[in-house]
């Protein structure tokens, strides 16, 4: 889908920015860059969630789970960078704000995990419901096949009895008497025609 490609492009840009941060020397600008990347990650997550509720652009559950996993991985890398920054930056105020960022990031990661677990739980519940429906349908089909088998047996018995009765009726019928009656009626008809014509 086109939206998937766009999302993947945005994610790749964020990942590249994170990689550049890892190889660059530690300085005060890094924390601002980390926070900017983190905000963009949250924006990408909201876009994914919004696409789930948008009927025109449905995002499958598997794609949403993949995106959440990628964002979670990137979030962990940002967390490592934040720790690196906090170790090397001087001053108590920087340390306090970094700790807040770490706590905020941990809460965010736990929230993401909770949402992923809720999505997984809903998927398992749907799967269980579908399995029960399939089982019920299979039982119904088995009962219908058993009923049909019984009907076929009864029909075979009835057809066999009718065939036997027809054979007996054929054997019991004497067609020679019928032919004599037809000949007698023809003679009678001929005599009456002769009487009328004379």
Maximum average pLDDT range among 34-38, 152-156, 188-192: 188-192
Q: Which residues of 9-38 are buried (b: 16+ CB within 10 A; e: fewer)?
A: eebeebeeebeebeeeeeeeebbebbeebb
Please tell me the predicted confidence (pLDDT) of residue 193.
92
Residue 26 gets which letter from DSSP?
Answer: P
Is the pLDDT confidence value at 1 over 70?
Answer: no
- Do residues 52 and 64 make contact, with C-beta atoms less than 8 angstroms apart? yes
Lowest-confidence region among 70-74, 91-95, 132-136, 190-194: 91-95
Residue 180: CB atoms within 10 A of its CB come to 10
How far is residue 56's CA from residue 176's CA, in Å, rounded to a whole number?
85
φ, ψ of residue 56 to 5 degrees: the values are: -75, -30
Axis-axis angle for helices 92-172, 61-88 (nearest 10): 160
Confidence of residue 184 (pLDDT cuts 50, 70, 90): very high
Confidence of residue 92 (pLDDT cuts 50, 70, 90): very low
For the entire predicted model, the pTM comes to 0.40
Is the pLDDT confidence value at 171 over 80?
Answer: no
């Amino acid at each position: 889908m086109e939206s998937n490609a766009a999302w993947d492009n945005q994610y790749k840009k964020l990942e590249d920015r994170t990689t550049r941060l890892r190889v660059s020397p530690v300085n005060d600008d890094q924390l601002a860059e980390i926070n900017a990347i983190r905000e963009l990650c949250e924006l990408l997550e909201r876009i994914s969630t919004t696409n789930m509720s948008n009927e025109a652009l449905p995002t499958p559950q598997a794609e949403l789970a993949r995106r959440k996993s990628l964002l979670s991985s990137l979030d962990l890398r940002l967390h490592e960078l934040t720790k690196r920054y906090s170790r090397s930056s001087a001053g108590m105020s920087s340390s306090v704000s970094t700790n807040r960022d770490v706590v905020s990031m941990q809460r965010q990661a736990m929230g993401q995990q909770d949402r992923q677990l809720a999505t997984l739980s809903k998927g398992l519940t749907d799967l269980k419901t579908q399995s029960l429906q399939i089982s019920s349908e299979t039982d119904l089909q088995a009962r219908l096949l058993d009923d049909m088998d019984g009907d076929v047996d009864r029909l075979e018995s009835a057809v066999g009895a009718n065939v036997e009765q027809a054979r007996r009726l054929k054997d019991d019928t004497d067609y020679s008497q019928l032919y004599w009656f037809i000949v007698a009626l023809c003679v009678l008809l001929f005599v009456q025609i002769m009487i009328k014509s004379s």
